[in-house]
């Protein structure tokens, strides 16, 4: 099997490379390190590419921008892929507002370039699109909430398991990032439903792991752990730090993709996160890190929240689990933090661990 991974130096892309290389598959990764362009030196993912090139015997990296339509078409024409994991994206709300053309060209046009090249040259391939829960915009904020001492949660029992795929994506505030990702999401669905491609759309919650190049505008939990270990400053924007997210380890994400790839359902959509068991508020995550390390960030609070940010979001996993009952979340939130702490201890003294100005606009 020949696997293409876009955004192969990032968190999800890198996990996919290691996963499929470990299965003995031929893996081609494309990544132009645009995360560095988006987020500066702290977003540089070249360290992860170098790690993968050193450790993965079946992996080949190619420097290619998914906005390059001719380059993408040529890649699909020449290589012939069996499985595509599309993880490349511009991932930040705030950055999208300041760079709207770059945001849309990467998230929407880049996705279209890949889908059309796949349709033209390898229509039998499975195509997995990494979408986001931000396609639901601020709609989840309209659900009746209950405020607890350390978190918000849904008061409506209809959402006891979290947000399901039937939740509306319409008539709400998305942010430009949410809008561009929604465009890519719907395109991937249509290439499955209209053209019959084996597309699967996965709307991620907080996808995380130790290889995340966490920065101020993206990579919440990794960024929080690194800041806590330095006992650095961390500004919480909005909701008193009680905003809730469900964390899912990158391995569990790729394992879900593999279950889908073996038995694809054309044009299907799934919510994918840690679910309610892995859901925690920002301040609960701070306390968990403190329990494990004895260290915590210096928190300051702003009443102003990020535009369109979720007050509470965790994924209802029942649809995917009903279609693929052998899949389950294997990493608890505590285990994820343990792994990040261990990685941080290995990095101490390196540029990736250096102090920096910190802020958290939601989670």
Per-residue pLDDT at 341 exceeds 60: yes
Tell me: the pLDDT tens digits for 213-223?
665 555 679 88
Does 292 fall in a domain?
yes
Structure tokens at 276: 């309610």
Beta sheet of 279-281, edge-to-edge order? 206-208, 244-249, 279-281
CA distance 135 to 199: 17
Give me the pLDDT at residue 156, please. 97
Element (H, E) at 92: none
The CATH number assigned to the domain holding 338 equals 3.40.50.720
Q: Counting Cβ atoms within 10 Å, is residue 7 exposed (0-12), middle (13-18) or buried (19+)?
A: buried
Tell me the C-alpha distance between 109 and 52, whole Å.
28
* This prediction's pTM: 0.93
The pLDDT assigned to 52 comes to: 97
pLDDT digits (tens, 9 = 90+) for 167-194: 999 999 999 999 999 999 999 999 999 9
CA-nearest of 327, 205, 212 to 276 is: 205
Rounded average pLDDT over 355-363: 33
Token pair belonging to 161: 């398991």
Residue-level pLDDT at 213: 64
> Rounded to 5 degrees, what are φ and ψ at 208?
-150, 175
Tell whether 363 is covered by a domain: no
Please state, rounded to an integer, the average pLDDT across all residues of the chain. 92
Give the end-to-end CA distance of the chain in Å, rounded to a whole number.
37
Residue that the structure tokens 């020449």 belong to: 78
Report the pLDDT averaged over residues 137-147: 98
* Mean pLDDT of all residues in 40-57: 91
Give the pLDDT band (50/70/90) at residue 348. low
Q: Is residue 227 part of a domain?
A: yes
Q: Is 359 contained in some domain?
A: no
> Shortest CA distance to 327 belongs to which of 219, 221, 200, 220?
200
Q: What's the pLDDT tens digit per position in 50-70? A: 999 999 999 999 999 999 999
Q: Residue 6 and residue 12: Cα distance in Å, rounded?
A: 9
Q: How many separate domains does the chain show?
A: 1
Tokens 């996963």 correspond to 19
Q: Is 360 domain-assigned? A: no
pLDDT value of residue 216: 56
**Domain extent for 287:** 2-353
């Amino acid at each position: 099997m020949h696997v293409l991974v876009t955004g192969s130096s990032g968190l999800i892309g890198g996990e996919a490379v290691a996963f499929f290389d470990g299965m003995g598959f031929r893996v081609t990764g494309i990544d132009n390190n645009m995360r560095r362009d988006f987020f500066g030196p702290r977003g540089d993912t070249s360290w992860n590419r170098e790690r993968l090139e050193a450790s993965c015997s079946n992996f080949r990296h190619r420097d290619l921008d998914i906005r390059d339509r001719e380059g993408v078409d040529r890649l699909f024409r020449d290589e012939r892929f069996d499985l595509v994991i599309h993880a490349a994206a511009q991932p930040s709300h705030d950055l999208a507002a300041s760079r709207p053309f770059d945001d849309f060209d990467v998230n929407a046009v880049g996705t279209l370039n890949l889908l059309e090249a796949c349709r033209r040259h390898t229509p039998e391939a499975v195509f997995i699109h990494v979408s986001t829960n931000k396609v639901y915009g601020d709609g989840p904020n309209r659900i009746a909430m209950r405020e607890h001492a350390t978190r918000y949660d849904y008061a409506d029992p209809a959402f006891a398991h979290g947000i399901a795929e039937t939740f509306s994506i319409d008539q709400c505030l998305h942010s430009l990032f949410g809008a561009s990702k929604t465009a890519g999401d719907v395109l991937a669905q249509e290439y499955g439903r209209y053209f019959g491609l084996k597309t699967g759309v996965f709307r991620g919650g907080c996808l995380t792991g130790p290889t995340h190049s966490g920065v101020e505008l993206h990579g919440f939990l990794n960024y929080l752990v690194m800041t806590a270990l330095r006992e650095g400053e961390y500004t919480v924007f909005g909701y008193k730090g009680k905003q809730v997210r469900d964390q899912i380890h990158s391995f569990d994400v790729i394992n879900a993709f593999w279950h889908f790839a073996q038995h694809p359902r054309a044009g299907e959509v799934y919510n994918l996160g840690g679910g309610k068991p892995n859901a925690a508020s920002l301040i609960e995550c701070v306390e968990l890190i403190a329990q494990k390390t004895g260290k915590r960030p210096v928190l300051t609070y702003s009443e102003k929240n990020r535009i369109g940010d979720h007050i509470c979001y965790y994924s209802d996993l029942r649809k995917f689990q009903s279609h693929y009952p052998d899949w389950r979340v294997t990493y608890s939130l505590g285990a994820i933090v343990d792994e990040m702490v261990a990685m941080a201890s290995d990095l101490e003294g390196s540029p990736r661990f250096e102090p920096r100005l910190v802020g958290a606009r939601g989670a």
